[in-house]
Chains A and B, each alone.
Chain A
Amino acid sequence: MVVSLRSWVANEGGKHLVLMLWLGTNTWLFMKTFLLYSTGKQYHYLYKMLGLGLCISRASASVLNLNCSLVLLPMCRSLLTFVRGTHTVSSRKTRRLLDKSKTFHVACGVAICIFSVVHVSAHLVNVVNFSASYSDDFPALNLARYRGEDPKLIMLTTVPGVTGLLLVLILFLMFTSSSHYVRVSNYEIFWYTHNLFIIFYIILMVHMVGGALKYQTNLEAHPPGCLRANQSSTEQQGEELEQSEDEERRCREEAHFQPHCPQTWLWVSGPLCLYCAERLYRYIRSSDPVTIVTVIRHPCDVFELRMLKKNFKARPGQYIVLNCPHVSSFENHPFTLTTCPTENKATFGIHLRVVGDWTERFTQLLLPEQRMDLEILPMVQQRRYPKLYVDGPFGSPSEEVFNYDVSLCVAGGIGVTPFACVLHALLDGWAGFRLQRLYFVWVCRELQSFYWFAELLCAVHHKFWQENRPDYFNLKLYVSQPHNLQSMSEERYRPLTSRLLVGRPKWKLLFDEIAKTNQQKRVGVFCCGPKGISSTLHRLCNSSRFPGTTFEFNKESFS
């Protein structure tokens, strides 16, 4: 498919700009430090002893400082949610960049690993050179105790050596357990090893203590290279040579060396304090347990949970993180809100699908009996619900649905939950938003899944027809598996059955239709579903099939 420049810039331009800026900053920092150590006068003697290894190791160290401080910032989720919420501070382009915060975190992490490899290799060469070119002229400069000392011994008896080894080990553990496969199969391994980062940062801040690398302090009194001039001038007899020498080339005193003070804490302490403050804030905010009001069982292993919490405010599209100590003390699982608290109704709700062991155990605690029909248990009955803690709400890309003139929401299976909250908000009052038209496409494997939100969809449909805006809400439902097809026989779900199609959606035709009826507009495409659908939609948004209409792609992922 041919890519259109305007669509590509609208969809990918911001991300690539940030990437270029980040790469440029890293390159500039690397070159600046490299040149400082290779041409700086105060490092002249050190450079002569260690060579290129000194410059490469220090340059990679400064890049590591930058990336270690940047890697924490995308993980301050409450801060990012706040930035997303204030429309005065950030424009829509900035908010779309916030969607990619996890990708930026991964990029900084990969950079840390690569530059750690460079840094460690260069320092290993330095250690060998410290041992081999032991300097008798400047004994203060040496790290080795005598010429030819075993490099392994140097490494294990100095603070930078030991801390460096520990840092590399922790980094190795964190890196090998964050591959996609481990995250998908055993998330706990990833989570517990990644939380070793705090030890990593503490050791990082003491890594430079001990002062292995020193710089010269008395440059005016002892210009580098002048010792040899003094020696050579004493060898030569002849006063004319002494007079022709410049004043600067005469050494007045011995070279004095001083170690650097550790600089890493300057870079790292700010983001680290910010992140720790954010974790503390989130812990305090979630320490109040919620009251479970209702539990409803839906077909296809989905449970709806309605809860109450004091001072809980959320916007449509946001998600919360649940923690149930009775099931597991340390596991936190994210769920998108399907109902937000409003002025009329203070409860908020989630729909959760039973997929893994945590959800299975949790739903067994909520509703122990296995009954086939719907079961609603109000709070009045004798029911001891487990204690539940809620952290959040956190922002997500689906909050932007209201900020486009025309939006297309594509949901796959349980991915409909962020859009369910959007529909509830429209039901409460649709006139105040910028949104003028909403296309809603929901693809499910089984027909029974549509019962999760059948009432909501019908209510929204009727509301818009009654308020004389029939073109506002355009619904298309698809059942992708044609085998064993039943039918929705209830009369009240007529708007759904007449919009139900069997088979997979034909995305090109759908986009053609939307482009033709919304010319010269920017359409926001929101996808929450399997990878196949989202990559097809992404490609279509970037293609040049639809001149005049720009499709901006926003993806929400659940993994």
Chain B
Amino acid sequence: MGKIEWAMWANEQALASGLIYLTGGIVGVAGQFRGWQFAAFGVAAGVFVCLLEYPRSKRSKGTSVGRTGQYCFTVVVKAFGPLTRNYYVRAFIHAALCVPGGFMLATVLGCVCLGIASIIYLVAAIRGEHWEPILPRKPAQKPNVGSINKPPQNPPPRPPPETRRKRVEDLEGAAYDNAINVTADE
């Protein structure tokens, strides 16, 4: 029950698939295997996917925690406007990027994982989700309680001077209760 935010899961998957795609591409290029051009494309595609997916989106309900150091990525991704906001575009980009990986053994895994992430992004887009940047909050206004350097102007309320004057003949009756409770402030 409850609304599941599919985009969040798709984001984690896409980031992991980007890394797998990148690693497979590096292995393919380094070993100079057959079809290493596809591996070179895999390297570039992996880097692009990682950069696109690194900044997390803001959650629609609840607190959002960004990844460490994601602010610069957020600014760049935000600059592309509707291209990155819309998840249909992202699903299409991932689907297009993953196809060349299927032609080479080292990048096959990256291709399949990115394909799964693309499908989940499609589901998220159909459910109407979109990408919101996480921007730092402005510091909340501190309530104006008064500075410690300004002492109070008026003395505390006291009973009238008649009761305050010390009555030697009736010491018991001279005692009075404080109007305000005095508690030890620790």
Contacts of A127 in B (CB 8 A): 105
Q: How far is the CB of B16 from chain A (nearest CB, A)?
A: 5
- Please tell me if the beta carbons of B65 and A169 are within 8 angstroms of each other in the complex: no
Q: Mark B166-186, 1 if CB is under 8 A from A, else 0.
A: 000000000000000000011
* A327 interfacial contact with B, CB 8 Å: yes
| B106/A124 in contact, CB under 8 A | yes
Task: Report the minimum CB–CB distance from A65 to chain B (whole Å).
Answer: 22
Determine whether the beta carbon of B109 is less than 8 Å from that of A176.
no
**Size of B's binding interface in residues, CB under 8 A:** 27
Contact between A357 and B8, CB atoms less than 8 A apart: no
Selected from B8, B17, B113, B186, the residue in CB contact (under 8 A) with A182 is B8
* A177 touching B12, Cβ below 8 Å: yes
Q: Bound complex: CA of A26 vs CA of B106, how far in Å?
A: 27
* A155 touches which of B4, B62, B105, B143 (Cβ 8 Å): B105
Given A124-B105, A168-B109, A503-B186, answer yes or no on A185-B13 (Cβ-Cβ < 8 Å). no
Closest A residue by C-beta to B66: A181
Residue contact B9 to A186, C-beta cutoff 8 Å: yes
Taking the nearest CB of chain A, how far is it from the CB of B60, in angstroms? 10
Docked complex Cα distance between A3 and B105 (Å): 51
B94-132 interface with A by 8 A CB criterion:
105-106, 108-109, 112-113, 116
The answer, among A128, A175, A328, A358, for a CB contact under 8 Å with B105, is: A128
Nearest to B102 among chain A residues (CB) is A152
Contact A328 B16 (CB under 8 A): no
CB-CB < 8 A to A176: which residues of B?
9, 12-13, 16
Tell me if B2 and A188 are in contact (CB < 8 A): yes
- B59 CB to closest chain A CB (Å) equals 6
| Docked-complex contact A179 and B2, CB < 8 angstroms | no
B12 touches A169 (CB 8 A): no
The smallest C-beta distance from A76 to any residue of chain B, in angstroms, reads: 28
A358 engages B8 (CB within 8 Å): no
Given A176-B12, A177-B9, the answer on whether A186 and B4 have CB atoms closer than 8 Å is yes
B5 neighbours in A (Cβ, 8 Å): 185-186
A177 contacts which chain B residues (CB < 8 A)?
9, 12-13
Among A304-350, those with CB < 8 Å from B are 327-328, 331
Q: Which of B1, B17, B108 has the largest count of A CB atoms less than 10 A from its CB?
A: B1
CB of B27 closer than 8 Å to a CB of A: yes
Contact A357 to B2, CB < 8 A, known contacts A151-B105, A185-B8, A186-B9: yes
Closest chain-B Cβ to A337's Cβ sits at a distance in Å of 25
- Residue pair A173, B1 in contact (C-beta under 8 Å): no
Q: Is the CB of A179 within 8 A of B12?
A: yes
User: With A172-B16, A501-B186 as given contacts, are A331 and B1 in contact (CB-CB < 8 Å)?
Assistant: yes
Within 8 A of B (CB), among A489-534: 501-503
**Complex Cα distance A179/B56, Å?**
14
Q: Does A258 contact B (CB under 8 A)?
A: no
Least Cβ distance of B140 to chain A in Å?
13
Q: CB of A302 within 8 A of chain B?
A: no
Q: In the complex, what residues of A have CB within 8 A of residue B13's CB? A: 172-173, 176-177
Asked whether B16 lies within 8 Å of A182 as measured between CB atoms, the reply is no
CB distance from A164 to the nearest CB of B (A): 10
Is B92 an interface residue, CB under 8 A from the partner?
no
User: Which residues in A have their C-beta under 8 angstroms from that of B56?
Assistant: 181
Query: What 0/1 pattern do residues 10 to 42 of B give for CB contact below 8 A with A?
Result: 001100110010000001000001000000000
Assess whether A475 is interfacial by the CB under 8 Å rule.
no
Report B-chain residues with C-beta under 8 Å of the C-beta of A503: 186
Q: A429 within 8 Å of B by Cβ?
A: no
Contact of A185 among B16, B20, B59, B108 (CB under 8 A): B59
Q: For B1, list chain A residues within 8 Å (CB).
A: 327-328, 331, 357-358, 361
- Least CB distance, B118 to chain A, in whole angstroms: 14
Q: Does A83 contact B (CB under 8 A)?
A: no
Of residues 129 through 186 on chain B, the ones whose CB sits less than 8 Å from some CB of chain A are: 143, 185-186
Q: Is A483 an interface residue (CB 8 A)?
A: yes
CA distance A106 to B12 in the complex (A): 18
Q: A328-B1, A356-B2, A503-B186 are in contact. Are A182 and B12 (CB under 8 A)?
A: yes
CA distance A127 to B31 in the complex (A): 14
Q: Is A120 in the interface zone, CB < 8 Å from B?
A: yes
Q: Which residues of B contact A403 (CB under 8 A)?
A: none
Which residues in A have their C-beta under 8 angstroms from that of B2?
Answer: 188, 356-358
When C-beta atoms are compared, the residue in chain B nearest to A361 turns out to be: B1
Let me know if A290 is at the binding interface, CB within 8 A.
no
Inter-chain contact B112/A169, CB cutoff 8 Å: yes
In the bound complex, CA of A152 to CA of B111 (Å): 14
Whether B105 lies near A181 (C-beta < 8 A) is no
Interface centre among B20, B27, B33, B105 (most CB of A within 10 A): B105
Q: Is the CB of A483 within 8 A of B143?
A: yes
Contacts A127-B105, A128-B33, A501-B186 given; does A188 touch B4 at CB 8 Å? yes
CB-defined contacts of A186 to chain B, threshold 8 Å: 4-5, 8-9
A364 within 8 A of B: no
Cα distance A190–B64 when bound, in Å?
Answer: 18
Instruction: Provide a sorted-by-A list of 18 A–B residue pairs whose CB atoms are within 8 angstroms.
Output: A124-B105, A127-B105, A152-B105, A155-B105, A169-B113, A172-B17, A172-B113, A176-B16, A177-B12, A181-B8, A181-B12, A185-B8, A185-B59, A186-B9, A188-B4, A356-B2, A357-B1, A358-B2
Q: Closest 7 interchain pairs by CB?
A: A328-B1, A357-B2, A176-B13, A176-B12, A176-B16, A189-B9, A186-B4
Known: A172-B17, A173-B116, A182-B9. 19 other contacts (CB 8 A): A121-B27, A152-B108, A155-B105, A172-B13, A172-B113, A172-B116, A176-B12, A177-B9, A181-B8, A181-B12, A181-B56, A185-B59, A188-B2, A188-B4, A357-B1, A358-B2, A361-B1, A502-B185, A503-B186
